[in-house]
Structure 1
Amino acid sequence: MESSIPELLLAGSRLMLIGMTIVFLFLALLVGVIHVTSRLIGRYSPDEPVALKPAGAIPVRSAGGEDEAEIVAAITAAIHRYQNK
């Protein structure tokens, strides 16, 4: 059962059109879902965003020269150890 070139081109064009339509509809649906989700989050989220601290965050005090000197010494020692590896 041999098909001619124009029949194959027509079948390929139909398949391409169906595939492109499905992808377009999926992307349009995805954009719609993201838009609705964004509105819901905006409606039910608090007005002011809460600043979260990283898991291993160490509070740094701005006052106190002795604490700063210890921090600088620790950072210097860590850099020195890293460079001598």
Structure 2
Amino acid sequence: MEAFDALDRVEIRRLDVGDQASVHTWDEFLATGRGIDTLIHNVGGMALPETRLGPGWEAQFATHQLGHYTLTNRLWPALPADR
């Protein structure tokens, strides 16, 4: 993350897309009224051993689908109107 330190208007925040509470911490960002120029989702990991998260969701589905879906919906108001 040091590569981003010298860039203006770049903010790095931790996020665990497998944890819905972590996704909802972005409400603090929304409260600032600032916008987001670009939202990029990146998923890693395939064919992992079956584990469960949250209310019993399969971990890969929870992180690759539900977490990104929730994050996008939470941040939608901060994205450019001409998306």
TM normalised by structure 2 equals 0.25
**Larger helix share, 1 or 2:** 1
Q: Which has the larger radius of gyration?
A: 1
The structure with higher relative contact order (CA 8 Å, sep 6+) is 2
TM normalised by structure 1 equals 0.25
